[in-house]
Amino acid sequence: MDQKQISKEILLRMVKSFTTNEVAPFDMEIDHTRSYVNDLFNKIKKYDFLSTMLPKEYGGAGFDGETTAAMINEIARGNASLAVTLEGHFKSIDQIVKYGNQALKDEYLPQSKSRIIAFSMTEPSGGSNPLGIASHAEKKGDKWIINGDKIMITNGGLAEIYCVLVKTAPKELSFFVVDKDMPGFEYGKQENFLGLTGVPVGEIVMNNIEVDENHLLGKIGMGKEIGDSAHNDARVLMGAVLTGIMEHELNIVTDYATHRKAIDTPIIQMQGIQRKIADIAVAKETTKLLYQKAAWLKDHRQDYEQEAAMAKAYGSRSAVKSGDNALQILGGYGYSLDYPVEHLIRDARAMEIAEGTVEKMRTEIALIEAKNRA
Amino acid sequence: MKIVVCIKQVPETTNVKIDEKTKNIDRRGLGGVINSYDLHALKAALDIKNQVGGEVITLTMGPDDFAVSLQETLALGADKSVLLSDRAFAGADTLATGYVLGKAIEKIGNVDLVLLGQQSVDADTGQVGPIIAELLQVSQVTYADKMIAKNENLLIKRNLGTVEQEITAKLPLLATITETINEPEYTNVVEIAKSFDKTITTWHAKDLDLEDSRVGQAGSPTIVCSISSPEKVVKQGHKLADDPVAAAKELVAALKKQNVLAEDE
Ligand SMILES: Cc1cc2nc3c(=O)[nH]c(=O)nc-3n(C[C@H](O)[C@H](O)[C@H](O)COP(=O)(O)OP(=O)(O)OC[C@H]3O[C@@H](n4cnc5c(N)ncnc54)[C@H](O)[C@@H]3O)c2cc1C
């Protein structure tokens, strides 16, 4: 084993034990209370989970995409919300690493060890269509003045640093980095979402926030490219979250079907039940292979856009369908709020919308398919 | 204080399978983890180091892939590690294992305190610690459940199940550690990367001053003849009558029926 493999093994040993002891037992409570009970968020900080993929030169652990995704997968087996909170942070760090100028990196990357960074594009007037946004930045002297309203931000309210998409001209999109401590920054309303209820998703309002030129991410007009890049990175990790959700579903149904009897036969012996469990298992494994391939391509500096879209598009639909199968296997208990299956369906459902709707991803997958043949 | 902590890598599962031929644990295909008791021993060592200063060295005997567990101890805060790896060590029972570990501790030299978990979760013997103490001719304290350094001595509370014992022990000393002594930390993610700045030294049989006949299979008098799980016995309870006199009569009758009491008693 080389250093990379040994590090990965040690990380995954730790994450497995952390998930089993600190996360999984609190899954239902996190869902019901809409918060990270058991002091979970502080524990995540204490053991430096936030620095998993942060490059070593900024004080991080420098794990690659494959290992980071495997870690997210493992945590999602215990609780999908916590995994999504980390996913949102990691994809934001990824964009600062890729597009930030040196001054921006030196300022914010070391801080990302303890302060969450969020990525915000969506506005009341535009989600799938970025040009529909109204937020804008104007240059005054050597400063930029930012105004606007951003909604539905993963970790909104919990995060302290935000990459925000704004217009710098009517058809020109650019990204800036703002900090909650800047004058003119305000937290807005929290969403009342159906699933992933542990993740705070919320709004920020920007009133004449003044930033230096070095808070520009990439160059003026690179908004679309950076947004797409963030989507790609997020989708790899969401494939991992969805795999974890399906593993959780499989744990529940195999245990239940082994012990539940119809007359005196465990229901796992019945073909109708077996088909459902087999379908969940195949969907789980397929999603896992898709996200692992996307992560591998990313680590080897090859195109991973299509595989990332496939992992999320296929994985999200499959996890919802698998959840429905799991609910059916548990019968009345599956339909109860006192059992965990129903919230797994709600959790998975979010990922048919967040980071690009499945409809948009199908378009992207098809267009890449056509481009590859042109 | 110079502290050596012996650790063992054990199969990850609680569902241990036995190799029919060798009657040993079948480790094929199983991921490994550090024996959970040893994590408590490591934490105890780090706590003592925190209190009085010094150095914590982790030590294991096993195949090369046990180095992962040593690396993990470095990430958890140990200062350096020694891996004892040699084909000649294979097939060792507790006696041959204790012998090689003891020789390695001698070679490390000037060790004040040796800590081990009270037992390993796969083999459950609890013998290796006491065997090393005998070999090194140092005092031993098993089941240490609390440990504080005080003026060159260690104040130790032993947990013997129904009895607790408080003792003052002189160094050098070997102690085996319970799982209630402390709460081990999880490995810090960033420390994993940093741990590669520390060193793991590998010693082979030739690096230690060993008698061939006391090593590996040759040095292992233990023969496992057969191994089996105890059968599950489901016992049925019986509630006696509520009235004490009737209950007493019923109980005496039942005990006579089971031949616990003689018919004429
Ligand atoms: C849990 C969660 C977390 C989120 N986190 C973030 C975040 O961190 N940052 C952030 O910026 N946003 C976030 N969002 C918002 C999310 O990105 C948007 O909801 C999403 O992009 C869709 O935008 P919309 O809601 O405005 O719907 P619309 O874009 O209005 O879409 C409405 C419908 O039209 C379809 N549609 C739209 N355009 C097309 C097209 N071109 N082709 C085919 N169909 C189309 C859509 O598929 C959808 O069915 C999050 C959302 C959720 C649910």
Distances (CA, A) of A88 to A293, B114, B151, B265: 20, 45, 52, 78
Supply the CATH classification number for the domain A117-221.
Answer: 2.40.110.10
**pLDDT at residue B234, as a whole number:** 78
Residues of B in contact with A14 (CB under 8 A): 186-187, 189, 192
Residue type, A243: T
Q: For A123, which DSSP code?
A: B
Q: Which CATH architecture has domain A3-113?
A: Orthogonal Bundle (1.10)
Which residues in chain B show pLDDT less than 70? Answer: 13-16, 25, 27-29, 265
Rounded Cα–Cα distance for residues A85 and A50 (Å): 10
Q: How far is ligand 1, taken at its centre, from the CA of residue A335, in Å?
A: 28
What does the pLDDT look like over A174-209, one tens digit per residue? Answer: 999 999 999 999 999 999 999 999 999 999 999 999
Alpha-carbon distance A360 to A365, whole Å? 9
CB crowding B115-152: b at 16 or more within 10 Å, else e? bbbbbbbbbeebbbbbbbbebbebebbbbbbbbebeee
Give the pLDDT confidence score for residue B123 in this predicted structure: 77
The answer to whether the CB of B123 falls within 8 A of the CB of B12 is no
Ligand 1 centroid – CA A357 distance (Å):
6
- pLDDT value of position B133: 96
Q: Whose CA is nearest to atom 50 of ligand 1?
A: A354
Q: Crossing angle, helix A305-329 and helix A341-350, to 10 degrees?
A: 160
**ipTM, two decimals:** 0.94
The pLDDT score that the predictor gives to residue B29 is 64
The single-letter DSSP state of residue B178 is -
Task: State the distance from the centre of ligand 1 to the C-alpha of A355, rounded, in angstroms.
Answer: 7
Q: Which CATH superfamily is domain A224-373 in?
A: Butyryl-CoA Dehydrogenase, subunit A, domain 3 (1.20.140.10)
Q: How far apart are CA B161 and CA B176, in angstroms?
A: 15
- Label residues A65-93 b or e (16+ Cβ within 10 Å = b): bbbbbbbbbbbbbbbbbbbbbbbbbbbbb
We find that the CATH architecture of domain B2-219 is 3-Layer(aba) Sandwich (3.40)
pLDDT value at position B16? 65
Query: Could you tell me the residue ranges of all domains in chain B?
Result: 2-219, 235-265
Structure tokens at A147: 């105004």
**What is the reported pLDDT for A248?**
98
What local confidence, expressed as pLDDT, does residue A341 receive?
97
Query: What local confidence, expressed as pLDDT, does residue B21 receive?
Result: 76
How near does any CA of chain A get to the CA of B194, in Å? 8
Higher pLDDT, A88 or B152: A88
The CB-side HSE value for B147 (13 A sphere, CA atoms) comes to 37
Q: Name which of B190, B191, B198 to mutate to probe chain A: the one with the most chain A Cβ atoms within 10 A of its Cβ.
A: B190
What kind and span of H or E run contains B251?
A: helix B244-257
H or E segment and range at residue B255: helix B244-257
- Look at residue B14 in the predicted model and tell me its pLDDT: 63
User: Hey, which of A34, A82, A128, A241 would you mutate to test ligand 1's pocket, going by the most ligand atoms within 8 Å of its Cβ?
Assistant: A128
Per residue in A204-259, pLDDT tens? 999 999 999 999 999 999 999 999 999 999 999 999 999 999 999 999 999 999 99
Mean pLDDT lowest for which of A291-305, A337-351, B9-23, B182-196? B9-23
Per-residue pLDDT, B168: 96
Q: What single-letter DSSP state applies at residue A368?
A: H
Residues in chain B with CB shorter than 8 Å from the CB of A7 are 192-193, 196
DSSP A291-343: HHHHHHHHHTTS--HHHHHHHHHHHHHHHHHHHHHHHHHTHHHHT-TTSSHHH
- Chain A residues with CB inside 8 Å of B74's CB? none
Beta pairing class for B164-170 and B113-117? unpaired
The DSSP-derived string for A225-253 is HHHHHHHHHHHHHHHHHHHHHHHHHHHHH
Q: Report the residue from B31, B65, B191 with minimal CB separation from A1.
A: B65
Look over chain A and give the mean of its residue pLDDT values, rounded to a whole number: 97
Q: Which atom of ligand 1 is nearest to the CA of A196?
A: 1
Of A355, A81, A37, the closest CA to residue A244 belongs to A81
The 10 Å Cβ neighbour count of residue A285 is: 13
Taking CB atoms and an 8 Å limit, are B193 and A13 in contact across chains? no
Residue B114, CB half-sphere, CA atoms under 13 Å: how many? Answer: 33
Which residues on A lie below 8 Å from B186 (Cβ)? 14, 17-18, 47
Which helix H or strand E contains A188, and what residues bound it? strand A185-190
Ligand 1: centre distance to CA A351 (Å):
10
Cross-chain residue pair A47–B189, CB shorter than 8 Å: yes
**Dihedral Cα B7, B12, B14, B18, nearest 10 deg:** -90
Sorted by where each begins, the domain ranges of chain A are: 3-113, 117-221, 224-373
DSSP letters, B76-143, are HT-SEEEEE--GGGTT--HHHHHHHHHHHHHHH-S--EEEEESS-TTT----HHHHHHHHHT-EEEEE
Q: Which residue has the tokens 């391509």?
A: A297
Q: Which residue has the tokens 């900024």?
A: A58
Taking only the tens place, the pLDDT of each residue in A323-332 is 999 999 999 9
Distance in Å, CA A167 to ligand 1 centroid: 19
Mutate to test the pocket of ligand 1, among A165, A353, A358, A365 (most ligand atoms within 8 A of CB): A353
Nearest-Cα distance to chain A for B227, in Å, is 28
A6 interaction partners in chain B (CB closer than 8 Å): 67-68, 71
Q: What is the pLDDT of residue B84?
A: 97
Q: Which residues make Cβ contacts (< 8 Å) with residue B125, sequence separation at least 6?
A: B94, B119
pTM (two decimals): 0.91
How crowded is the C-beta side of A178, counted as CA atoms within 13 Å? 32
Chain A: residue whose CA lies nearest to B193:
A61
Q: What are phi and psi of A252, to 5 degrees?
A: -70, -50
Choose the closest CB to A10 out of B68, B185, B190: B68
Asked if A121 and A156 count as a contact pair (C-beta separation under 8 A), the reply is no
Task: Please count the other Cβ atoms lying within 10 Å of the Cβ belonging to residue B213.
Answer: 9
Q: What is the Cα–Cα distance from A20 to A191, expressed in whole angstroms?
A: 29
Write out chain A residues lying below 8 Å of B33, CB-based.
13, 17
Best residue among A120, A357, A362, A365 to mutate for probing ligand 1, ranked by most atoms within 8 Å of CB: A357
Q: Are strands A136-140 and A143-154 parallel, antiparallel or unpaired?
A: antiparallel
Contact check, Cβ <8 Å, B75/A6: no
Share of chain A above pLDDT 70, in %: 100
* Cα–Cα distance, A141 to A62 (Å, whole number): 38
Could you give the residue ranges of the DSSP H alpha helices within chain A? 3-18, 27-33, 40-46, 65-78, 80-99, 102-108, 223-259, 271-299, 305-329, 331-334, 341-350, 358-373
Closest ligand 1 atom number to CA of residue A88: 8
* Confidence at residue B27, expressed as pLDDT on a 0 to 100 scale: 66
Residue A61 has pLDDT above 70, yes or no: yes
Dig out the tokens for B225 from the structure.
Answer: 């003849």
Q: Would you state the torsion angle of the CA atoms of residues A229, A231, A233, A235, taken in this order, to the nearest 10 degrees?
A: -150
| Cβ(A280)–Cβ(A253) below 8 Å | yes
Residue in A11, A18, A46 closest to B192 by CB: A11
Confidence of residue A336 (pLDDT cuts 50, 70, 90): very high
The radius of gyration computed from the CA coordinates of chain A, to the nearest angstrom, equals: 21
Residues 6+ positions from B29 with CB-CB distance below 8 Å: none
Contact B68 A49 (CB under 8 A): no
